[in-house]
Amino acid sequence: MRKVFLSILLSLLARDLSVRGAPPHQRGGLCRTKSTDLVFIIDSSRSVRPTEFEQVKTFLSQVIESLTVSPNATRVAVLNYASSIKSEVALNSHKSKASLLQAVKKIEPLSTGTMTGLAIQFAMNRAFSESGGARVRSPDISKVAIVVTDGRPQDGVKDIATRARESGIEIFAIGVGRVEMRTLREIASEPLDDHVDYVESYGVIEKLTRKFQEALCITASDLCATRDHNCEQICVSSPGSYSCACREGFTLNEDRKTCNACGSAATDLVFLIDGSKSVRPENFELVKKFISQIVDSLDVGETKAQVGLVQYSSSVRQEFPLGQYKTKKQIKDAVKKMSYMEKGTMTGQALSYLVDNSFAVSNGARPGVQKVGIVFTDGRSQDYIKDAAKKAKDLGFKMYAVGVGNAVEDELKEIASEPVPQHYFYSANFKAINQIGKKLQMKICVKENPCACESILKFQEKVEKLIQTLTRTLEAATQRIAALENKII
């Protein structure tokens, strides 16, 4: 009997250890959409070319593909606007996803002016009305409008958009090309960071697909299926809830979100940051926060991690070399003071600088220490990157590539170390850079686990103590049973 108890105990403990060391939750496949009345408001004014309008329709179709389309789940409408408004699809027109997608394929551009305010008013008064197929307003049903425009409106949008938002409609604004950012901000709901997106051309609008798939999606029972809830390493679902966990060799910090490695190794880390004009000043501030976020995860010191920073645009400027600053605070203060260069995008030239200068001993690098480069860019390079990227990797530098907005994923892959999928990151918008930072924090930590032996010893001690406790309990039970047997006899 004692052996049976011990076997059960050891199997439970082994299972507990395997769960704590389990790989991150496999996401996908468990998503269902919120009960939503969703209206797309798409600009087809004369500035939108026919091929570009087809790209908008592809974007709409990809978002719709991820939705649970039905009268009781998500209803979808499409308004096509230019100088006039055409209701292509009403909220109660299609009860199946297949027929809805066929209707989207048949939409043709109007090719006249740009009456964006009129389109929003039509959506509020007609598309979101009960006669237009909308459901009675309820806390359980979301009202969402997604506006796609590429130009300056010929009417006012501020007042009508305000009334639409006040009526309970959540508005996302997507701007393309020459659109005015002020117009997008006047249209969109708060917080603006979540509701305003910009792409330089219709050719890359599909990169926003995933954002809207996630924005319109919840899970029935698995809260980790489509979101990591800011868990740095592992999101663990439970009925109606979730918790964060860490991989073996890491411990969960007091915030119950982030993880701390049991030890650290010496690393020379250099950030190579795109300061070209397409980044925009407000986004450049987000990039600086991204750098500070990574720095916060490092164990900075003369024998531990050193950090350098290089900014590039049409030229390359070293902000500070490796080893100049000895503490996290000093590094973060220097990052805050970095000014925005605002010119071109010479990524190849910047990579050459990284190879030839940033990791040189004369620039503060240490011989025999791991070299890590994190390259950030938001657009296509204006020069050749292949040779410099290859040289960096041939020299043994671990290269991470982070792209946002109009960054070219093929270029990111060219820069990234092997295995490439683990060393490059892309997001369509800057607000997701925080999540990229969390993933990078996890990846730049040392792979060696200096706590492994200590963990094994602690586990063995735990098992031994539990076995001793169980043995004592069994002995006491055996004595009581013997006493009862004596009484019976």
Report mean pLDDT in 10-residue bins for the chain, 489 residues.
Answer: 41 37 36 77 93 93 87 92 94 89 94 94 94 88 93 92 94 90 92 86 84 65 56 69 70 68 70 88 86 84 89 94 92 93 90 92 86 89 91 91 85 90 78 61 50 45 58 66 63
Name every residue whose Cβ is closer than 8 Å to that of residue 487 and which is 6 or more positions away in sequence.
none
pLDDT given for residue 31 in this prediction: 47
Same domain, 354 and 249: no
> What confidence score (pLDDT) does residue 440 get?
63
Q: Does 256 share its domain with 366?
A: no
Half-sphere exposure of 163 (CA within 13 A, CB side): 12
Would you put residue 385 in left (φ > 0), alpha (ψ -120 to 50) or beta?
A: alpha
Residues whose CB falls within 8 Å of the CB of residue 104, separated by 6 or more in sequence, listed in order: 57, 60, 61, 64, 78, 88, 89
- Among 219, 253, 282, identify where a domain stops: 219
Q: Does one domain contain both 236 and 309? A: no
What was the pLDDT predicted at 261? 53
Q: Is 474 a domain residue?
A: no
CA distance linking residue 340 with residue 306, whole number of Å: 23
| Distance from the Cα of residue 19 to its chain's centroid | 25
Q: Are residues 270 and 391 in the same domain?
A: yes
- Identify whether 19 is part of a domain: no
Same domain (yes/no): 252, 378:
no
Residue 189 lies in a domain: yes
Q: Is 372 a domain residue?
A: yes
Closest to 123 in 3D by CA, of 149, 72, 161, 158: 161
Number of domains in the chain: 3
Query: Domain ends where: 187, 219, 251?
Result: 219
- Residue type at position 220: A
Distance CA 225, CA 218 (A): 9
Judging by beta carbons within 10 Å of its beta carbon (0-12, 13-18, 19+), is residue 1 exposed, middle or buried? exposed
Q: 250: domain range? A: 228-261
Same domain, 267 and 327: yes
> Looking at residue 144, what is its pLDDT?
93
Is-cis flag, bond preceding 321, omega within 30?
no
Whether 198 and 76 share a structural domain: yes
Same domain, 307 and 174: no
CATH number, residue 287:
3.40.50.410
- Residue 174 resides in a domain: yes
Residues 289 and 406 in one domain: yes
CB-CB contact of 400 with 294 (8 Å): no
Phi and psi at 15, nearest 5°, equal -65, -40
**Token couple for 489:** 């006899």
Supply the pLDDT for residue 319.
95
CATH number of 240's domain: 2.10.25.10
11: in domain: no
**Amino acid of residue 404:** V
35, 48: one domain: yes
Flag whether 332 is in a domain: yes
Predicted local distance difference test score (pLDDT) of residue 340 = 92
Q: Same domain for 248 and 384?
A: no
Residue 111 DSSP class: -
Asked whether residue 138 is assigned to any structural domain, the reply reads: yes
pLDDT value for 28:
37
Residues 64 and 135 in one domain: yes
Integer Cα distance of 335 and 437 in angstroms: 16
